Structure 1
Amino acid sequence: MKGWDAHEDAVERLLASYGRIGRGDRIRLAKKTSNLFRPRQGSDSPGLDVSGLDGVITIDAEAQTADVQGMCTYERLVAETLPHGLIPYVVPQLRTITLGGAVTGLGIEATSFRNGLPHESVLEMDILTGSGELVTATTVGEHADLFDAFPNSYGSLGYATRLRIKLEKVPPFVALRHVEVADAAAAVKAIEVISETREWQGERVDGLDGTAFSPDEIYLTLARFTDVEQTTSDYTGQQVFYRSIQLREIDSLTMNDYLWRWDTDWFWCSGAFGAQNRWLRRVWPARYRRSDVYHRLVGLDERLGISTVLDRIKKVPGRERVIQDVEVPVDRLPEFLEWFDAEVGMRPVWLCPLRTTRPWPVYPLTAGEIYVNVGFWGTVEVSAGSPVGAVNQQIEAAVHDLGGHKSLYSEAFYDQKTFEQIYGGDVLAGVRGRYDPEGRLSTLYEKAVRNS
């Protein structure tokens, strides 16, 4: 663990780096890696030095809390908390997502049906604002407005240097049950029952997500955390987790392997790189079968244009990247999937139920209502000369019509008026006026749509 002295030194370096940025330059992080899937404009100005803000400061095992730096990855965070039998309330699926990133960008996982989203277990945050002030924000008090608006603000209100979060006590093992349901309507009924009772057929459910391989092949994966020693599977080697869902109803994992079950193959996206080919997988080092490596391969492809050349050879007229997570009300899930199959045609898709515990102004899901996150990641063929982002714009419209919302980690195409109506534009403007009166930080619209 870092300890408080190291943390204070890192904050001093951060503040010094803020002072070196010219008054006319935008404030941004000096950060080489990202889990975002939207282009970002480069800048010649120096960024904020966050190099020392990547660890756990301290853990209070008795109080079940941790003070964590904003750039700490969940991989590092879990490595520190799990030996105490503790984990964050929500651990996003990918190892290199940072705590600050998940809080300001809305992470999600299988515990979200009972624990909400990562920011809902945050007790307080130290935030560097656009004006260069370091403030401590909590649910009440002088900076409660910043605390409330921070989730889904993606750095447009500042950057969290420290977060105090609640931790959940967990046992060493996870018993899994993959329940096949007849269709999306049956999935909705099961999700509603489990969300209300936290049980299925008399058995406790601690984690809930789903995989829809086709309209009539949908599985809900029910996780039960247990102290009972299990014979566990290993999906960090030659076996692929998402394929096991179709092959076995009952399974077991260690808690650590359960938390990272989706990371090894980036859900199912590793197949695009050949990592699921049994011969190539044998020689692909396990340490390189992880989401951040695949993310870098995507970036390499974008720079070199390999996919574009292959498409030209195969005479593919055009291709659009469709990498999105959306939230729709649970009862509208069948409608969305039917529309999605007809208009987009991408499978599998990931399903993750969630409930927020209170209203959050910049991501206005109705508190207490059940939503389902639908995740789909890949590309689709489009006609030659198709408008940029045409498929993604259709998805935005469909989700909006169904009373849902779209996460902003990937490309967005909303016009500014619509965007600000959906994502709390008036609230953001008021908070920015207080904490960033000179507009040193990019607005949320500039970040999410204009990619600045």
Structure 2
Amino acid sequence: MTVTALPAARPVSRAAHDAAVAQLQRQYRAVPPGTRVRLGKPTSNLFRFGSGAGAQLLDASGLTGVLDVDPVAGTAEVQGMATYETIVAATLARGVMPLVVPQLKTITLGGAVTGLGIESTSFRHGLPHESVREMDVLTPEGELVTVTPDGEHADLFRGFPNSYGTLGYALRIVIDVQPVRPYVAIEHRRVGTSELSAVTEAVCADPEIEFVDGTVFGRDENYLTLGRFTDDPGAGPSDYTGQQVFYKSIRERTSDVLTVHDYIWRWDTDWFWCSRAFGVQHPLVRRFWPHRYRRSDVYRRLVALDRRYGVTSRAYRLLGRPQEELVIQDVEIPVARLPEFLDAFHRDIGITPVWLCPLALRDKEQWPLYPLAPGELYVNVGFWSAVPEVPGDPEAHNRRVEELVAELGGHKSLYSTVHYDEQEFWKHYNGPAYRALKERYDPNGRSPDLYTKVRRS
């Protein structure tokens, strides 16, 4: 079955892939020891601005495609720097999609595997790295190793997720894919905070529900959005790439239908709700804002420019307004503790809306650098905004989030700012396991360790 989507690019040939890998390996080996390196990608979804300053760029432009999609075997073979936008176009053209597609088009598969990712299928299929069958990894020593769950490098296979490139770069990845149908029928169900844990557990246990996420608009105003594949377009699928905004529809209607392509990218057009900071949700601005610029990577570049030149900060000083603390985090909270987290979050942080996404490990074993408990349902809570700084304590709100996560037995993703001291950091991210991997795959310390990398800004 073919699902309508953007035209898929031609598959990358094996010869072209091998040549690109050899070229990258030559570049890397030519870099003098002690010189920082990073992949020269045109986009980033990290919120550690400036962390690559002074690093030597490696040209990875030959590693951005799809090698093969095999619907019969249920796999896709993908180059490590391919974006999910590219991967989805290739897989939907063959009637399949990755088991988990993170929300933003320019997230790369290699980035999602080494830096984690999540979406509304994660309650059933876990995180993107759990869909991996094998990888070719360029280690910090410049060696190319093939990594599988039970091979010679099984330790790297399990330790690669949440290592953020400090144990190497994934250049080729084989992932599981699943069949799709043309549309996704969704239901928006309002749920009180006191009922949220029980209802979330119940819908995630329903075998007929294939997608679950949620939105918090305020105290006791929570919605769970439930999705199912369907062949029925209903009265016609909705389009949230034009004048309408997806997250606003959650409060306005109880049911909806989107094409599978538009469902996958429903959050990208407005970067969830964050496009409002640029006025893009105002009807007049939206009408004249070019369609091709209604994308998460465009908004992220605007934020990067603001951070680089301090435009907002200077404006606030001129206006006599307090400076703002960016609170941009995703955290995993055990489902039973979710109401406690939200109550404290509303009281101490006060950001809305907030995204909810249930997840449970697909695998029965832990992934050592992000040790979620197998068999336990968590809820990812995502919040991306700014609040007035506490005078004299510009990190107060972010540190409060980290305290809450620790108190409630959760975990915090590392794509944004990190405020733990080193001892606390390694307690949460399995310092002994990480050091063993560094000793084996980076004995000469060519890459920074994980704490150094995520704390650098």
Alignment match, 2:78 = 68
Q: Which runs of 4+ in 1 moved over 6 A?
A: none
| In structure 2, distance between residues paired with 1:116 and 1:361 | 15
Shift of the alpha carbon at 1:6? 1.0
1:356-403 per-residue CA deviation (whole Å, 9 max, x = no partner) reads 12311000110110000000001001233x323221011101111100
Partner of 2:333: 328
Give 1:141's aligned residue: 151
Residue matched to 2:307: 302
Q: Which moved more, 1:155-164 or 1:442-451?
A: 442-451
- Is the Cα contact below 8 Å between 1:27 and 1:440 reproduced in 2? no
Amino acid at match of 1:137: V
Work out whether residues 364 and 423 of structure 1, in 8 Å CA contact, stay in contact via their aligned partners in 2: yes
For the 8 Å contact 1:28–1:441, the answer to whether it is kept is: no
Shift of 1:42: 4.1
Distance 1:450 1:301 in 2: 19
Name the residue aligned to 2:362.
Answer: 357
Q: Counterpart in 1 of 2:412?
A: 406
* Displacement of 1:447: 1.1
SS where residue 329 of structure 2 aligns? Answer: strand
In 2, Cα distance between the equivalents of 1:91 and 1:357?
15
Question: What residue is the counterpart of 1:93 in the other structure?
Answer: 103
Give 2:263's aligned residue: 258
- Measured in 2, the distance between the counterparts of 1:234 and 1:252 equals 9
* 1:45 Cα deviation after fit: 5.2
The secondary structure found in structure 1 opposite 2:175 is strand
| Aligned with 2:202 (options 175, 186, 193) | 193
Distance 2:77 2:455 in 1: 33
Aligned to 1:31: 41
Q: Which residue of 1 aligns with 2:434?
A: 428
Q: Distance in 2 between matches of 1:314 and 1:210?
A: 37
What residue identity is the alignment partner of 1:216? D
Query: Does residue 267 in structure 1 map to residue 254 in structure 2?
Result: no
1:245-303 per-residue CA deviation (whole Å, 9 max, x = no partner) reads: 00010100000000000000000000000000111100001110010000011011112
Which letter maps to 1:305? G
Paired residue for 1:397?
A: 403
Q: What's the CA shift string for 1:322-369, capped at 9, x where partnerless?
A: 000000000100000000011000011000000012311000110110
**Counterparts in 2 of 1:27 and 1:306: CA distance versus 1, 3 Å:** closer
Equivalent in the alignment of 1:374: 381
1:244 aligns with 2:249: yes
Are the aligned partners of 2:36 and 2:56 in contact in 1 as well (CA < 8 Å)? no
What SS is found at the alignment partner of 1:23?
coil
Q: Is the 8 A contact 1:27 1:130 kept in 2?
A: no
1:112 and 1:47 map into 2 onto residues whose CA distance is 33
CA contact under 8 A between 1:393 and 1:413: conserved in structure 2?
A: yes
CA distance in 2 between counterparts of 1:304 and 1:428 reads 36
Measured after TM superposition, the shift of residue 19 of structure 1 is 1.9
Aligned to 1:131: 141
Aligned 8 A contact 1:75 1:96 in 2: yes
Alignment check: 8 A CA contact 1:127 1:136 kept = yes
CA gap 1:301/1:450 in 2 versus in 1, 3 angstroms: closer
1:207 to 204, 211, 217: 211
1:6 aligns with 2:13: no
* 1:79 partner amino acid: A
Identical aligned pairs, as a percentage?
A: 55
- Distance (whole Å) between structure 2 residues aligned to residue 5 and residue 205 of structure 1: 42
Q: Of 277, 280, 285, which residue of structure 1 is paired with 2:285?
A: 280
| Distance of 2:160 and 2:54 partners within structure 1 | 27
Aligned-partner Cα distance in 1 for 2:164–2:54: 21
Q: Is the 8 A contact 2:390 2:396 kept in 1?
A: no
Classify the secondary structure of the residue corresponding to 1:59. strand
Cα deviations across residues 176-225 of structure 1 (Å, max 9, x unaligned)? 100111x2221211111122233xxxxx2110000010122111000011
Match of residue 5 from structure 2 = none
Letter in 2 for 1:405: H
Structure 2 residue ranges without an equivalent (≥5): 1-10
For normalisation by structure 1, the TM-score amounts to 0.96
| Pairing 1:83–2:88 present | no
Superposed displacement of residue 41, structure 1:
3.7
Q: Which amino acid aligns with 1:196?
A: A
Distance in 2, Cα, partners of 1:24 & 1:179: 54
Q: Answer whether contact 1:20 1:46 (CA < 8 A) is retained.
A: no
> 2:408 & 2:279 partners in 1: Cα distance?
36
* Equivalent residues in 2 for 1:145-160, closer than 5 Å: 145-160=155-170
Q: 1:130: how far off?
A: 0.6
Q: Give how far 1:37 is off.
A: 0.3
**2:172 aligns to what SS in structure 1?**
strand
Displacement of 1:135 after TM fit?
Answer: 0.2
1:102 to 106, 109, 112: 112
Q: CA RMSD in A?
A: 1.2
User: Comparing 401-410 with 442-451, which one deviates more in the overlay?
Assistant: 442-451
8 A Cα contact 1:21 1:47, kept in partner: no
Using a 3 Å threshold, how does the CA distance of structure 1 residues 44 and 413 change in structure 2: closer, same or farther?
closer
Please give the secondary structure, in 2, of the residue aligned with 1:29. strand
Residues 294 and 131 (structure 1), Cα distance of their counterparts in 2 relative to 1, 3 Å cut: same
Which ranges of structure 1 fall in alignment gaps of 5 or more residues? 199-203
Separation in 2 of the partners of 1:165 and 1:213? Answer: 35
- Contact 1:89 1:115 (8 Å CA) reproduced: yes
Aligned letter for 1:424?
A: N
Deviation of 1:32 after TM superposition, in Å, equals 4.1
Distance 1:232 1:12 in 2: 45
- Give the whole-Å Cα distance in 1 for the aligned partners of 2:154 and 2:37: 23
**Counterpart position of 1:219:** 223
CA distance in 2, matches of 1:66, 1:166: 7
CA distance in 2, matches of 1:337, 1:44: 40
